[in-house]
Amino acid sequence: MLNFVLKRTWHALLVMLLMSMLVFVGVYAIGNPIDILINPQADQALREATIARYGLDKPLWEQYLRFLGNAIQGDFGVSFVYNVPALSLIFTYLPATLELAVVAMVMTIVIGVPLGIYAGYRPDSAFSKLIMSGSVMAFSVPGFWMGLMLMLVFSVELGWFSSGGRGETVSIFGVEWSVFTWDGLQHLLLPALNLALFRLALIVRLTRAGVREAIMSDYVKFARAKGVPPLRILVRHVLRNIMIPLTTVLGMEFGAMVAFSVVTETIFSWPGAGKLVIDSIRTLDQPVVVSYLLLVAAMFVLINFVVDVMYSLLDPRINLGSRK
């Protein structure tokens, strides 16, 4: 176990290093920062002074090392647009994104797993067929289009939910939350549903497939023959076995949700990190783009790591030490 953790930590660091190189070279070397930093009307002396001040006259590897050194200390430069440190700017926007992703995740699990179980237990019932065709629809319809339609139907036409912004927030431990106020909840539900729908479809299908496989298995047949109550079979035998693939997928999908929140936040004007990064890409605010990308990459690496460890905790048969 320890061996595995050490090895994976080493891999994770390597991946982060690679990502930082890619992003640095990409954003700073290909997109020319001089044009953004310096006023085109500036004279030659001012140009050179600015280039020297930002170290842009040094060779690329030296610039990269400097960037890396600063990045390790949490300094990703100052946002060109907001004029505050990029990382702290992202951290002020990040709670809104995480709140959205967590609520969407809870929706996915609370709605998706029971529907999947039902569809697995009664595959031929009309309701199960409805669930399954619904999930096919949710797969085929592009996520951003689904978001637009949700907004058009439920907020513009029916006026059931508000759209745009977070609504009223309440401050808990210095972080603003929408989920604890009625108004905030009204603003939160549609974007969260938009974010959740695709994963919901995925989870329904996975759960259904898992349940179908599990109820055919010998151990469930045996438990049934033994007279174990159905609910107990469901919880102790069926659910336990489908937990493993579900955890993996949910773990990975949480990352995908944070990534996709870029789209949802744009549609619903949700003031989160995703909207911030899209605006920053458009305004060429490179420090913000770089720190967001590296932060998200770090999150993915961490999620993969946690999922692998969770795997072994949920299923003692998996021996992490013996993996290559």
Binding region for another protein (CB under 8 A): 15, 23, 26-27, 30-31, 139-145, 148-149, 151-152, 156, 252, 255-256, 259-260, 262-263, 266-267, 277-278, 281-282, 289, 293, 296-297, 300, 304
Residue 120 or 255 having the CB closest to another protein: 255
At closest approach, how far in Å is the CB of 149 from another protein?
A: 8
- Shortest approach of another protein to residue 46 CB, angstroms? 26
Q: How far is the CB of 296 from another protein (least distance, A)?
A: 7
Residue closer to another protein (CB basis): 141 or 309: 141
DSSP, collapsed to helix, strand or coil, labels residue 172 as strand
Contact between residue 50 and residue 40 where contact means Cβ atoms under 8 Å apart = no
Q: Residue 39 CB, nearest distance to another protein (Å)?
A: 21
Closer residue to another protein, CB minimum distance, 228 or 281: 281
Distances (CA, A) of 109 to 4, 106, 206: 29, 5, 12
Q: Which of 53, 251, 272 has its CA nearest to residue 280? A: 272
Task: Specify the DSSP class assigned to residue 28.
Answer: I
- We find the least distance from the C-beta atom of residue 35 to another protein, in angstroms, to be 12
Q: In terms of CB distance, is 143 or 271 closer to another protein?
A: 143
What is the pairing mode between strands 175-177 and 170-172? antiparallel
With b for 16 or more beta-carbon neighbours within 10 A and e for fewer, the 61-86 pattern comes to: eebbeebeeebeeeebbebbebeebb
Our CB check for another protein shows the closer of 148 and 314 to be 148
Q: Closer CB to another protein, residue 30 or residue 225?
A: 30
Cβ-based nearer residue to another protein, 117 or 296: 296
Closest distance to another protein from the beta carbon of 43 (Å): 28
Question: Alpha helix (H) ranges present in the chain?
Answer: 2-24, 33-37, 44-53, 60-72, 86-121, 126-140, 143-150, 182-216, 218-226, 230-232, 240-267, 273-282, 286-314
CB of 259 to another protein, least distance (A): 4
Phi, psi (rounded to 5 degrees) for 175: -115, 140
Encoded tokens for 223:
């438990």
